[in-house]
């Protein structure tokens, strides 16, 4: 997928006008791009549209309109757009209760590198996690991680061919796997060249 440029973005004024319709379009688009893995983990698969929305929202919230600041936002967010033989996802560890979340995150150190995708009956592809920053320490992990799944040409071809896809976590403190629906698989197929 092509990286975003300033030409792809709306001005703050234009975005204010278009935001309700654009947001509704993006929320509908995101519906099949999220995968729950058990009761407390969810993957949100990113693409060019989801990242454009994130950038537009950051520009709006921060009231950014200077060219160099817009370029900085693009530089930060463009790496989250899939490259044609990979998937990019945000892992959210979701615990509503603060005490439960604190206890769980203390047990889940290293979880981000134990998230995987499996295409058909081929070996699992484990995530490359948090390439841009450390998201955990010796005491706990973060509730948000940024992941990249490098599929390579062979697995990308299998995805395009319609093979089943599963997402899972294989960590001593959290093990679960989800088989994707056809709608989810179709959404992720669109990310593959």
Each residue's pLDDT, cut to its tens digit, for the chain (193 residues) gives: 799 999 999 999 999 999 999 999 999 999 999 999 999 999 999 999 999 999 999 999 999 999 999 999 999 999 999 999 999 999 999 999 999 999 999 999 999 999 999 999 999 999 999 765 555 556 678 899 999 999 999 999 999 999 999 999 999 999 999 999 999 999 999 999 8
Q: Is residue 1 part of a domain?
A: no
Length of the chain: 193
pLDDT for residue 170: 98
Integer Cα distance of 53 and 87 in angstroms: 18
pLDDT for residue 138: 61
Strands of 165-171's sheet in order across:
125-126, 115-119, 165-171, 174-179
**Cα-atom radius of gyration of the chain, to the nearest Å?**
17
pLDDT for residue 54: 96
Domain tally, the chain: 1
Q: Is residue 3 part of a domain?
A: no
Give the tokens for residue 15: 């975005």
Nearest residue to 166 (alpha-carbon basis) of 110, 138, 113, 126:
126
Nearest residue to 161 (alpha-carbon basis) of 183, 185, 181:
185
- φ and ψ at residue 23, rounded to 5 degrees: -60, -45
Q: Is residue 155 part of a domain?
A: yes
Q: Is residue 4 part of a domain?
A: no
- DSSP bridge pairs for 118: 166
Q: Is residue 134 part of a domain?
A: yes
Any idea which residue has 């530089």 for tokens?
75
Pinpoint the alpha helices (H) of the chain. Answer: 12-30, 48-62, 67-77, 98-107, 152-160, 182-189
Give the tokens for residue 34: 């999220």
Q: Is residue 121 part of a domain?
A: yes
pLDDT for residue 70: 96
CB-CB neighbours of 151 under 10 Å: 21
Any idea which residue has 């992990």 for tokens?
141
Q: Is residue 165 part of a domain?
A: yes
Q: Is residue 161 part of a domain?
A: yes
By residue range, what is the domain housing residue 94?
Answer: 9-189
pLDDT for residue 1: 77
pLDDT for residue 131: 61
Residues 6+ apart with CB under 8 A from 191: 1, 45, 47, 82, 84, 87
pTM for the full model?
A: 0.90
pLDDT for residue 19: 97
- DSSP bridge pairs for 34: 44
């Amino acid at each position: 997928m092509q990286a975003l440029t300033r030409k792809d973005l709306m001005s703050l004024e234009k975005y204010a006008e278009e935001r309700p319709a654009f947001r509704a379009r993006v929320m509908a688009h995101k519906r099949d791009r999220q995968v729950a893995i058990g009761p407390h983990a969810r993957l949100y698969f990113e693409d060019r549209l989801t990242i454009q929305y994130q950038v537009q929202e950051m520009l709006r919230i921060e009231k950014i309109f200077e060219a160099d600041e817009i370029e900085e936002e693009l530089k930060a967010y463009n790496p989250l757009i899939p490259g044609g033989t990979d998937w990019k996802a945000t892992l959210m560890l979701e615990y509503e209760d603060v005490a439960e979340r604190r206890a769980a995150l203390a047990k889940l150190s290293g979880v981000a590198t134990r998230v995987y995708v499996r295409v058909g009956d081929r070996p699992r592809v484990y995530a490359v996690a948090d390439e841009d920053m450390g998201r955990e320490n010796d005491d706990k992990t973060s509730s948000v991680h940024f992941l990249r799944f490098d599929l390579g040409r062979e697995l990308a071809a299998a995805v395009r061919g319609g093979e089943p896809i599963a997402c899972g976590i294989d960590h001593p403190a959290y093990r679960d796997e989800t088989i994707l629906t056809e709608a989810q698989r179709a959404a992720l197929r669109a990310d593959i060249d």
